[in-house]
Amino acid sequence: MLSCKREIRDLSRYAPLSPGIPALPEVHRSCVGCTTLTRHEHQQDILDEFNDISDSCLSNISVMIRSSVVTDQADQQLVYEAYSNFVQGLFELMDSVTESAPILIVLDKQAEFRIPAAVREVAGVVDALLYQLMAIFPTNTSYSSQTANQKTQVDTHFRQAVHAFHLATANTGSPYSNTTAL
């Protein structure tokens, strides 16, 4: 669940999206010390985070474009560990977006369109970075195959985040899509 630094005031006007999705105040209690809440602040926080990730990835890509293959075993290990930490952060972020999709849609109806679009945009930039990372490992090392495997896992997490928004509205009167299962 995404956390914020805002206090929830009167959210009684928000009803559950469907019988399977709890009302917002029950779900949103895990927010840490909120002080104000507007419809667009949560969505903007997420979009800002995605922009930061995109900017960082693009900066790293520009540095790596003409990099040679890393041949030293110790350097390969360092690059792989740093890459793995980044990947773990992406997993956690996308899992939070996935879990929070129903809440974000209740807070702002535009979130059902804007956040999946932003997720797809970030996914494209992250893909470019991951392809660059795969290229700097020699193909005969385990790091090359592990990196390719992690890229597949990252793609899956991005897809699940997008599908969560489809699923959150699928059982309502105005479904975003006909997606009913991951």
Dump pLDDT digits (tens) for 31-63.
444 444 455 566 677 778 888 888 888 887 777
Picking from 144, 79, 154, 166, the residue whose alpha carbon sits closest to that of residue 122 is: 154
Question: What is the residue extent of each domain of the chain?
Answer: 40-170
Kindly state the average pLDDT of the residues 88-101: 90
Distance CA 78, CA 178 (A): 44
The mean pLDDT of 162-170, rounded to a whole number, is 86
Residue 174 confidence (pLDDT): 59
3-class DSSP string for 111-168 = HHHHHHHHHHHHHHHHHHHHHHHHHCCCCCCHHHHHHHHHHHHHHHHHHHHHHHHHHH
What is the tens place of the pLDDT at every residue in 58-80?
A: 887 777 777 888 889 999 999 88
Kindly report, residue by residue over 111-153, the tens digit of the pLDDT: 888 899 999 999 998 888 888 888 888 888 889 889 889 999 9
Classify 68 in phi/psi space as left (phi over 0), alpha (psi -120 to 50) or beta: beta
pLDDT cut 90: percent of the chain above it: 15
Query: Cα separation of 120 and 140, whole Å?
Result: 32
pLDDT at 179 over 90: no
What was the pLDDT predicted at 56? 83
Return mean pLDDT, the chain.
74
Residue 6 has pLDDT above 90, yes or no: no
